[in-house]
Structure 1
Amino acid sequence: MDIPHDPARPTRRCVIAAGTLIALAAAVSATALGRRPAAASSPAGAPPRSGAGGAARPEAAYWFPDSVPHGQPDEGVVWRSLLDYRPQDDPDLPYNTATVPLAERRTPVGPHPGAPVGGARVQSLVSFAPTSGNPSQGEWGTRSSSVEGGGGRRAGGSSARYYALTHWSYLEELVFWGGSASEGLILAPNAPVVDAAHRNGVPVLGTVFLPPTAYGGDLRWTRDLVRRDDATGRYPVADKLVEVARVCGFDGWFINAETSGGDTALADAVRGFLRHMRAASALRVCWYDSMTTSGTIAWQNRLNDANEPFFHDAGTPVAHTMFLNFDWTADGLADSAARATRLDRDPHELWAGVDVEARGYRTPVDWDALFAADPAGVTSIGFYRPEWTHTSTPESAPPGEFHRRDDRFWTGPSGDPSAPAPSARWPGVSAHVADRCAAVVAPFGTVFNTGHGLRYAVEGRIVSDRAWHHLGVQDVLPPRRWVRRGDGTSATVDFDFDTPFHGGNSLLCAGITAAPAEIDLYPVRSVIAAGTDTVVELVHDGDAGTTVELAVAWADPARPGEAPPYAYLTAPVEPIPGTSWSRSTFPLPGGPGRTLRALGVRLRSNSEGEGTRWRLGRLRLAPRAQQPPGRPRAPRIEAAHTDADGSATLRVRWCAAGSARHYEVAQATPDGPVLFGATASTAHYLTGVRRYPGERAARLEINAVGDDYRRSAPAVLRYTW
């Protein structure tokens, strides 16, 4: 389809015609594939790094293939050559290393019959932050943050503003998008994003961006990238890309070559580079429809003779997938799919590009071209910049507003993936794409943490009033948000950022009436053997008169669209001392071959009125006697700096604890613990460590948090003032 031009956002074609902006191109970040808006996706510069010397803030890595630009970089930007990179000499590497392995995924019986299993998949190209100045470990607001009630803004609340993607179940892979001629062209994903994606079974690709000349592109960088060592026959930069992905823990590269001026020899070198990447490693490689076999930049918007050899050449696969430029047509997609089939390639390895950067779910899309002929989809879908749901959210809005927009993008106007609206202008991804989710097995726990928030709680007590984001501690969230059944379907479910039990948010169910409301939570694949004493524990807080039942299913639905065959369990409510929360523990009867298939809740109110409210703060599926993880080992401060206000900035590291899903770092104070951050890594950057009256050393505590949210004893670290 031809995406209509938004007059407020000039296309690249307009920029080139204007000419006068070309001189500014070197200061513009990677904004585009094909015909893209001229607005920059990130500023060229970045604020100076916090701290000083060895205690500087760790930041996500970016490089040029070999040679760097002429002149001097802007403040806060570091020009680096990838060929010169040595992991053993990189002080930021421990902070940039993802630690969560890629989870196994399963495809549950569909919530409706319109999205067949094995059909179209989704790739997302997301710019989470500027190329430079992107902190490795998320951000935590200032210690002086004040907290307001009622979902209002908090001081330091900008630290909660982040694209906290939660609908991972519709993604096949994520591209960490970025790069610019003034900063660097090769962008490695930061660890929090990779950890969140891997926890949900989604691979993450870094970006190699060779920009158009109008955006500062220089053909020497393409030649640097694909230069071959005549003596060894290897491609040195390709080998470095493999090394970076290995040491940082991500899964592949998106190759976007858009610098004009090439010839057939250069195109042949690019193909050799791609073949080497595929042969040298198990990394995933996605090629963007830009360069042709003649070396020119000419977007084909389909798979054809001009670009096929970058995808499949001489009977051999080259790139694993290809992102087709945005101006595709129904005929072009059909021809592309037929060509892929003739090559014995899956047509769903082609991503039909959909640019949603400017309009999000208001973007016109020819859904019929993709799905009318076959509900499984002619090809797959490639979304460019779906973080519109974040960038379009007003600065003053609380985090819940972003999640409402993001739900609308992925699950359509109904907000219920079991009730699709395929004829809607934007039906939502769930109307056409089958969900796949991480396999939930015991021991498993979730506090429904979205990876950002306005405060942070531990076991029902607020331990930080700092706004924050760190996707690495995001939970595996219910994949079908929100399927509601029963007579009480008017009940709503949202993330509640005002009253977390642990982390930054809980689940809030509102509008509960006397008519039972059944809410799906998780598909499960967990064998419950006889004698294991496995339980499901719910930590909850609700209005008086709310009845809670645990919904458990021991078999899958018979067909798409049917509910799991739930049975309903009750349990006593036990208050948790010192908090407003209560606990209900539901024993699960085990037996030979007995496998738990789904979990949900059924709620009803015994009170008069418009409806009651109920929060779910934690769900735990585990043996009753499950042990917490061991404490972190060998904690140490690797660098420190005293700031102007007398507080300390520290780089802290430790050795991993067995079975830890993440770690929480706090300072013990006379008023109780003050959290400085949480991370899945074994390294963290702390700012604002204060000295209290009479204190000779700050006591820092690092707790490991297990897969089921049991916490270890703390590892203690002292910083002497």
Structure 2
Amino acid sequence: MAPPSALSARAADALPDGGAWAPRYPLTPVPSTPDGAGWDAFQALMEYDPQADADAPYFQSQVRRAHRIAPFAATQAHPALDTVPGVASLSDCYGPLAAGVSEETLMRRRYGTPLPGGVQVPRIFTYHDIVVGWRGTGMIPNPALVDVAHRNGALALGTIFQPDRRHYDGSAVPMPQVARKLVDLAAYFGFDGYFVNFENGTEEAEAQVLDWVAAMRDEAKRRGLTDFHIQFYDGGTDMDWLMRRRGDRPGQAYADSTMLDQGWSRYGGPGSCCSGAPVAPLEVRAYYLRNGFDPRAVAYFGLQLYPGPGYLGAAAPQVIHPNDGAYAYGGLQVYSVEDGLRNVLRVVRTQRALPGEPPGAHSDRRILGILERQFFSGQSQNPAADNAPDAAQAQAYLPNAARGRHRYTDYDPAAPKATDQLNLPMTYGVANFIAERSVIGAFPFVTRFNTGEGDRFHVDGAVVAEQPWYNLGIQDILPTWQWRIEPLAGAAGASAADLLAVDYAYDTAFNGGSSLGVTGTLGPANATRVWLYKTALTVDAAITPVVQLVVKGQGADALRLGLLFADRPAAPVWLPLAGAPRQDLADGWSRLTLRLDPYHGRTIAALLLGAAAKGTSAKGSGEVMDVRIGEMYIGAAPGDAAMPAPRGLMAQARSTGTGSGRAEVRLRWAPDPAAAHHDVYADDGQGRWVWQGRVTGTAYHAVAVPVGGDSKVRLRLVASPPGLSTRPGMPADIVVAVG
């Protein structure tokens, strides 16, 4: 396995939006030399104290891991799938979409303004059990990636890649002391443990590493860190080292889960990678069962996908039978799928451009969204479809008969080859093997369909910033199924091509950078339902919950909300939006309220969106639908109590350059468990508060803040609750002289 890329100190200093004054990512070299030469990573680790590091709070995640609801086969896209196997990923947080931009420059940013050409922001986390921060950040994963993993109920791990022997052999300091230091980092920065990548070690060294892993787990247990998790990978397929019982702790393993090297699938290449001897999945299953483990829960079969994401369709059916789970031998470890999707984008961006669509970031974002859905939801982009390969696609998946293994190469645009893994088609998606997960099990629940990026920023319908931005850490819980679309009456009927289309829309938003767009022409023959969220929400008479939708655009009166109840999952209840109490809001948005009083005691197992034409006449060309949904809320009727002003606001500011009229500002404030996030605003000198950023933590580094004529910056901090309030939060204001 190739090492995760390291971001050099020089590259960090060259970032255009902060320079050396920007908070430095924890445990990175001081830029005394261009490449950090002479920097001892082990010594730096042992000397590091985040409590004494003024930069550390800027990289904390304070989003706790959400509790997941129980599986419910009736709402699964594929009801017969085994619900135990899941996805573990080795994930990029961000990636550049333009050629010639270093992929390393983004990995240590929590948020920012995109580099030229745009930034990749992943949008599908509904199948993940484990998210490993793989590239560019090392032991401490990007806090934005931790935020989104936790919000979706997944574990978030840092990477320990080929550890220095001093970590585990006791030659420099006692090994338990190193273990305590690593647990300290996870506890402070808010992540859940480590992916320990230890390859090509001796038998003695591997035994020492496993003892070190056990020491970390013992320390985490002593401190009550119940989510602490170690995933182990040794680069081979000698299973005797993958998952073992501890001799001193009968019934307990060293690691919590393992990644199996890609050799299990008779995979060959690229880059001389994955040379472990092939082992059939049935042998893997037998080994784990023989040693007392459920392989479905702890064995993750490695799939190297950066050379071409279509390899999932070729290999995953060996692990889990698609669509019905007739056999399931373990979970799927998807390795660098973000890289793979960017590689595909570079090949197909011209042919997938729309007529008249200019090339660039907007087009790339749309195409990348399609590719991401094809990988996770299958080639139809519908996770409920079988997505099976046709004859030609199935032929492409066959291994080389002479070698008896899949032999692939990396794609080179200057010299493409038939053996390039990029040539494998994307057919089956992750959803054809893995049952979807959900955390929506309690009131209130609110989403603005904010994907964590945008061309501008909106708050309550008003544009509060015009510049593009990205921040995966503030991505909402996005729809469980992207996109599970079918006829309103059920799965049989009109083809998908006839139904309305659903996707994220970046032309407008209510809160954030995006909304949910429903488009097409609605006639009597193509009434449409869209499965949005898997839930377990019991309607409680004590709080009299309501559903509120914030909508705008043409055709909104044709929409209806679908409630699928657990006691009658085949018969959703449809509540029309037409005629619902309406409150007019800014910029053409309206809030519609639907009461749930009649359903006390029943449990909502899924939230659906429907659309049906008015009347039954087949005449005419149908009704044009161009609707945006900016917010969906379900819970008690929002109260009018405003969030209190944030406490302890402090700031430092400095000029970004002579005569620029702009400043950088470091902001800190006290934690507030009642706040879902904080928004930072700056006075632009013309009576407007311009949004600078949103963060879930207690620190923010703002750039390009307007400086007043008195050489001071004026900033405002506003907290927002997890649900809704009819009143904005009380602001905390601060005035800072620019130094």
- Name the stretch that deviates more: 247-256 or 452-461: 452-461
Matches within 5 A, 1:317-466: 317-329=253-265, 332-348=280-296, 349-361=298-310, 365-372=314-321, 375-387=326-338, 388-390=340-342, 392-394=344-346, 396-398=360-362, 399-423=365-389, 426-466=427-467
Cα distance change of structure 1 residues 97 and 590 upon mapping to structure 2, 3 Å threshold: farther
Contact 2:8 2:35 in 1 (8 A): no
CA deviation map 1:644-679 (0-9, x unaligned): 423110100112345221111111332522111111
Counterpart for residue 216 of structure 2: 277
1:635 and 2:642 correspond: no
Distance in 2 (alpha carbons) for counterparts of 1:117 and 1:572: 40
1:225 and 2:167 correspond: yes
Q: How far apart are 1:603 and its partner, in Å?
A: 1.6
Distance in 2 (alpha carbons) for counterparts of 1:392 and 1:52: 29
Cα distance change of structure 1 residues 451 and 157 upon mapping to structure 2, 3 Å threshold: farther
Which residue identity does 2:319 align to in structure 1? L
Cα distance change of structure 1 residues 192 and 331 upon mapping to structure 2, 3 Å threshold: closer
Distance in 2 (alpha carbons) for counterparts of 1:312 and 1:205: 26
Of residues 478, 503, 511, the one that matches 1:502 is: 511
Cα distance change of structure 1 residues 576 and 342 upon mapping to structure 2, 3 Å threshold: same
Cα distance change of structure 1 residues 556 and 486 upon mapping to structure 2, 3 Å threshold: farther
Which residue identity does 1:565 align to in structure 2? P
Distance in 1 (alpha carbons) for counterparts of 2:263 and 2:245: 19
Counterpart for residue 574 of structure 2: 567
Q: How far apart are 1:567 and its partner, in Å?
A: 3.4
Contact 1:60 1:190 in 2 (8 A): no
Matches within 5 A, 1:189-204: 189-204=141-156
Contact 1:63 1:187 in 2 (8 A): no
Counterpart for residue 722 of structure 2: 707
CA deviation map 1:459-513 (0-9, x unaligned): 1111112111111111011111222232575111111111112101001111140
1:553 and 2:564 correspond: yes
Cα distance change of structure 1 residues 366 and 463 upon mapping to structure 2, 3 Å threshold: same
Distance in 2 (alpha carbons) for counterparts of 1:78 and 1:601: 56
Identity fraction in percent: 26
Counterpart for residue 132 of structure 2: 175
Cα distance change of structure 1 residues 595 and 97 upon mapping to structure 2, 3 Å threshold: same
Aligned partner of residue 633 in structure 1, secondary structure? coil
Counterpart for residue 737 of structure 2: 720
Contact 2:653 2:663 in 1 (8 A): no
Q: How far apart are 1:423 and its partner, in Å?
A: 4.2
Which residue identity does 1:196 align to in structure 2? V
Distance in 1 (alpha carbons) for counterparts of 2:90 and 2:172: 35
Aligned partner of residue 502 in structure 1, secondary structure? coil
Counterpart for residue 138 of structure 1: 111
Distance in 2 (alpha carbons) for counterparts of 1:531 and 1:89: 47
Contact 1:287 1:310 in 2 (8 A): no
Counterpart for residue 648 of structure 1: 663
Q: How far apart are 1:363 and its partner, in Å?
A: 5.6
Of residues 569, 592, 595, the one that matches 2:603 is: 595
Stretches of structure 1 that go unaligned for 5 or more consecutive residues are: 1-11, 13-28, 32-39, 142-155, 211-220, 291-298
Contact 2:653 2:736 in 1 (8 A): no
Contact 1:124 1:382 in 2 (8 A): yes
Distance in 2 (alpha carbons) for counterparts of 1:133 and 1:493: 30
Cα distance change of structure 1 residues 89 and 53 upon mapping to structure 2, 3 Å threshold: farther
Which residue identity does 1:48 align to in structure 2? D
1:246 and 2:187 correspond: yes
Cα distance change of structure 1 residues 372 and 526 upon mapping to structure 2, 3 Å threshold: closer
CA deviation map 1:318-366 (0-9, x unaligned): 1111111112148522111111011111112111110110212366623
Q: How far apart are 1:594 and its partner, in Å?
A: 3.5
CA deviation map 1:283-312 (0-9, x unaligned): 20111133xxxxxxxx22xx5335454999
Counterpart for residue 84 of structure 2: 119
Aligned partner of residue 318 in structure 2, secondary structure? helix
Q: How far apart are 1:271 and its partner, in Å?
A: 2.2
Of residues 609, 612, 632, the one that matches 1:604 is: 612
Distance in 1 (alpha carbons) for counterparts of 2:381 and 2:512: 25
TM normalised by structure 1 equals: 0.80
Q: How far apart are 1:205 and its partner, in Å?
A: 0.5
Contact 1:638 1:653 in 2 (8 A): no
Cα distance change of structure 1 residues 657 and 476 upon mapping to structure 2, 3 Å threshold: same
Aligned partner of residue 327 in structure 1, secondary structure? helix
Cα distance change of structure 1 residues 601 and 267 upon mapping to structure 2, 3 Å threshold: closer
Contact 1:494 1:508 in 2 (8 A): yes
Aligned partner of residue 509 in structure 1, secondary structure? strand
CA deviation map 1:134-163 (0-9, x unaligned): 44431135xxxxxxxxxxxxxx664x513x
1:87 and 2:35 correspond: no
Aligned partner of residue 341 in structure 2, secondary structure? helix
Which residue identity does 1:137 align to in structure 2? R
Aligned partner of residue 310 in structure 2, secondary structure? helix
Q: How far apart are 1:94 and its partner, in Å?
A: 0.8
Counterpart for residue 237 of structure 1: 178
Which residue identity does 2:462 align to in structure 1? R
Distance in 2 (alpha carbons) for counterparts of 1:542 and 1:175: 40
Counterpart for residue 275 of structure 2: none
Counterpart for residue 546 of structure 2: 535
Contact 2:93 2:142 in 1 (8 A): no
Contact 1:651 1:686 in 2 (8 A): yes
Q: How far apart are 1:46 and its partner, in Å?
A: 1.2
Cα distance change of structure 1 residues 715 and 339 upon mapping to structure 2, 3 Å threshold: same
TM normalised by structure 2 equals: 0.78
Contact 2:246 2:254 in 1 (8 A): yes
Which residue identity does 1:224 align to in structure 2? R
Cα distance change of structure 1 residues 528 and 59 upon mapping to structure 2, 3 Å threshold: farther
Matches within 5 A, 1:24-103: 30=3, 46-48=11-13, 56-62=21-27, 72-74=33-35, 80=41, 81-103=44-66
Counterpart for residue 26 of structure 1: none
Of residues 218, 232, 235, the one that matches 1:287 is: 232
Distance in 2 (alpha carbons) for counterparts of 1:402 and 1:76: 38
Cα distance change of structure 1 residues 453 and 274 upon mapping to structure 2, 3 Å threshold: same
Count of residues in Structure 1 that have an aligned counterpart in Structure 2: 633
Structure number with higher relative contact order (C-alpha < 8 Å, ≥ 6 residues apart): 1
Distance in 2 (alpha carbons) for counterparts of 1:584 and 1:520: 20
Which residue identity does 1:104 align to in structure 2? H
Q: How far apart are 1:371 and its partner, in Å?
A: 2.4
Cα distance change of structure 1 residues 289 and 244 upon mapping to structure 2, 3 Å threshold: same
- Name the stretch that deviates more: 601-610 or 419-428: 601-610
Counterpart for residue 5 of structure 1: none
Distance in 2 (alpha carbons) for counterparts of 1:326 and 1:701: 51
Distance in 2 (alpha carbons) for counterparts of 1:88 and 1:443: 34
Of residues 223, 239, 244, the one that matches 1:304 is: 239
Distance in 2 (alpha carbons) for counterparts of 1:577 and 1:285: 48
